[in-house]
Each structure stands twice: as C-alpha cells, then as structure tokens.
Amino acid sequence: MIRGSGAEACRNEDANCFFSLANRVDYDRIRDVGPDRAASEWLLRCGAMVRYHGQERWQKDYNHLPTGPLDKYKIQAIDATDSCIMRIGFDHMEGLEHVEKIRLCKCHYIEDDCLLRLSQLENLQKTILEMEIISCGNITDKGIIALRHLRNLKYLLLSDLPGVREKENLVQETDVPGALVDRPYDLSPSAGMRMLKLKATTAILKSRFQLCTRWQQSLHHSRCSIHPSKISYSFFFFFFWCMPPEIVYAL
C-alpha cells in the first residue's frame, strides 16, 4: 500500500490524467455534429452546464442532451461552476456564435491561458456580454487584462481571486461599464433565478415610476383640483409598499 505524500501524488496524477482526457478536443466530432453540440458534450462531460438560446432550462445531464437538427440548439450561456474545464478544451469554443454569458466559479483548472484563449476567439469577442469569475485561485492580473478584447462585455464580476493584485486598476484597464470587484455573491442554486426575478421586478418598478412622473407633469398643465404632488406621493408610496423587500433594498 502506498502511504503519505506519494499516495496523494498518485491520486492527483490520476485525476489530472482523467480531466485531461475529458477536455481533449475531437475535431472530427466538431465537424460531424457542429460546434455547439460538441462544446455541449465537452462542458457537460467536465461537470459544467449550458443553456440554449430561447430556453430557460439549464442542460446538465450529458445523457439527456437534446437531439435534432444540428443548427437548432445554440449555446447562449455557460455555467462552469465546480467543473474541470481546462485550457486544452477551450478550442471547443472556437465555432460558438451565440454565447452571451460565461460563469467561472470554483474552477481549479482555469488559468490565465484560458482567459487569453477565450479573448482571442473572434466570435466570442463580439457576443459575450456578461462574465463572472469567482474563486478561481490560478487567475492573475494577466488573465483579467486579456478580457479587454471582449469588446461588447457589459458586466464583469470578479470575486475571491487571491492571485489578482491590482483589482481597481484592472477594472479601469478592462473598461467594462458594469465591473464589480470583490462583491459578496450568493452561490446557491436558486441565486440565478432570484437575480432574474430581481431584474424583472426592478424594470417594472422603473417603468411604473416613469409613468407616474409623466402623469404628474401632465397634471401641472391641467385644472385638476387635487394638488399633483399629493397624487404623485400617493402613487410612490403605493408602489414601494407593494414591492418585495429585496427590490426596495436593491434600489
């Protein structure tokens, strides 16, 4: 029986070998089934999830990937939380043309070279709008700087990245309008759905408030006997009274 550090090294070597096989790029497979299907198989094989354009449900079971025409299912979002994706597998992304969001969370094999490769792919440079990089210990300033090539990136979340030193300067260099650094982040499975509801409800609240403001302005030019400010305050109070607590806090 192998004991001590030698046994641990053997286990790590076996794991690295297995993960390398899971990330291996089969170019014949990409040609036969298309880049989106091949990338889906790679990501799910490594423990990640994908969401297709026009669908809300995340695909996370390799054996239940949808079948049908090759051009029907286009990857729109990737959640690589706790996955073993690594640099050698990123060539799977070369043909993807609809990816808008990528989440890298607790990815122990993600390194700067992964982000460099990601930022070199012309299709992704145009389509990626949101990125979240959380608890990836091998990422340094070099990898974050490479994200500046994602020219349509609107939202970037960086959290728990011990290898990143100049966080605030990096935000300026990437020039992302919605960059957040070291913000508390909910990693529970329902967090994504709560965030979608939060965004939707916030949008409704803003539209109602704008409607109320326009109504107040119109009353200023009318002969209404009720003072416009009282009406607007009443509507404002009513809206906020009916809002869920998390919405009011977010605003």
CATH code assigned at 123: 3.80.10.10
Q: CA dist 190 to 54, 91, 193, 194, 197, Å?
A: 20, 31, 5, 6, 11
Side by side, which strands form the sheet with 155-159?
A: 49-52, 75-79, 101-105, 130-134, 155-159, 178-181
3-class SS at 171? helix
Is residue 42 domain-resident?
yes
Can you give the residue range of the structural domain that contains 41?
Answer: 15-181
Q: CA dist 167 to 135, 148, 172, Å?
A: 14, 14, 9
| Neighbour tally for 77: CB within 10 Å | 19
Is residue 177 domain-resident?
yes
- The pLDDT of residue 7 is above 60: no
Is residue 221 domain-resident?
no
Is residue 30 domain-resident?
yes
pLDDT at 19: 87
Span of 137-141, 170-174, 224-228 with lowest mean pLDDT: 224-228
- The pLDDT of residue 59 is above 90: yes
Domain total in the chain: 1
pLDDT at 249: 33
Can you tell me the distance from the alpha carbon of 45 to that of 152, in angstroms, rounded to the nearest whole number?
A: 29
Tell me the percentage of the chain whose pLDDT exceeds 90.
55
Q: CA dist 87 to 57, 164, 218, 244, Å?
A: 27, 19, 59, 43
pLDDT at 237: 46
Is residue 2 domain-resident?
no
pLDDT at 12: 59
**What angle (nearest 5°) sits at the alpha carbon of residue 191, between those of residues 186 and 195?**
110
Query: What tokens were used for 18?
Result: 């297995």
| Neighbour tally for 220: CB within 10 Å | 9
pLDDT at 167: 73
Is residue 41 domain-resident?
yes
The string of pLDDT tens digits covering residues 163-187 is 998 777 776 666 676 666 665 444 4
Average pLDDT over residues 39-64: 95
The string of pLDDT tens digits covering residues 143-155 is 999 999 999 999 9
3-class SS at 7? helix
Query: What tokens were used for 156?
Result: 């970037």
Is residue 236 domain-resident?
no
Contacts of 159 (CB under 8 A, 6+ apart): 132, 133, 134, 135, 180, 181, 182, 183, 184, 185
Is residue 146 domain-resident?
yes
Pick the closest to residue 155 from 170, 177, 172, 175 (CA basis): 177
Please tell me the number of Cα atoms within 13 Å of 13 on its side-chain side. 6
